[in-house]
């Protein structure tokens, strides 16, 4: 399985169902960990609550194993977004400490509303790119246009149902000199 496209700094996995993607991403992360890749980033763990429409959301830090709560409990009638932006920011700050030049891949669960609005995981992604660390991120179909606008020609997109079929928006490498040659790209087996 191709975890990140070797010619692009960012690989976005496009999905329609958040719950299906969460399981899919946990599977990919497990496969990467089994191959010995050094991972950093945050992936979502949703915990259903009986009698509630909204689940509790946590971010699992891949470098430390820490679990960061990111949702507010707004009661059993809550229907809108329950994301707590301050908790998301604290989780991102904690994950930043696990990101370094030795990291093989930065994995992030979602280019969501916070990222569309200019926040969320954007700083983590920028830091990874500065270090030459490739990024793997989930992209809800509803946010695909905003993701493409944000990432431009640095990214290719993969449909969750066809993870080998990376569709780059352009045919040139965003990496200086044509590609990261100081280390092999992870997961390209």
* Per-residue model confidence (pLDDT) at position 6: 83
- Token pair in block for residue 43: 């992936």
State how far the alpha carbon of 147 is from the alpha carbons of 80, 114, 142, 164, in Å: 22, 12, 10, 20
Q: What is the mean pLDDT of each run of 10 residues along the chain (189 residues)?
A: 78 92 92 93 83 74 92 62 78 94 94 92 95 96 96 91 55 37 34
Residue 47 is predicted with a pLDDT of 77
**pTM as predicted:** 0.81
- pLDDT of 185 reads 32
Q: In what order do the strands lie in the sheet with 105-108?
A: 67-69, 56-61, 39-47, 105-108, 135-140, 10-15, 155-159
Question: Quick one: pLDDT at residue 53?
Answer: 58
Nearest to 91 by CA among 46, 117, 59: 59
């Amino acid at each position: 399985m191709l975890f990140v496209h070797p010619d692009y700094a960012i690989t976005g996995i496009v999905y329609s169902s958040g719950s299906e993607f969460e399981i899919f991403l946990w599977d990919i992360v497990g496969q990467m960990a089994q191959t010995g890749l050094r991972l950093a980033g945050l992936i979502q763990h949703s915990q259903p609550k009986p009698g509630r429409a909204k689940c509790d959301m946590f971010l699992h830090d891949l470098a430390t194993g820490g679990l960061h709560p990111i949702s507010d409990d707004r009661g059993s009638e809550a229907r809108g977004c329950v994301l707590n932006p301050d908790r998301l920011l604290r989780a991102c700050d904690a994950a930043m400490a696990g990101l370094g030049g030795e990291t093989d891949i930065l994995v992030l669960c979602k280019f969501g509303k916070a990222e569309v609005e200019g926040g969320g995981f954007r700083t983590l992604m920028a830091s990874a790119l500065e270090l030459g660390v490739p990024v793997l991120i989930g992209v809800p179909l509803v946010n695909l246009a905003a993701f493409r606008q944000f990432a431009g020609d640095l990214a290719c997109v993969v449909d969750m149902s066809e993870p080998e079929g990376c569709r780059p928006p352009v045919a040139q490498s965003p990496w200086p000199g044509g590609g990261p040659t100081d280390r092999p790209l992870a997961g390209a087996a």
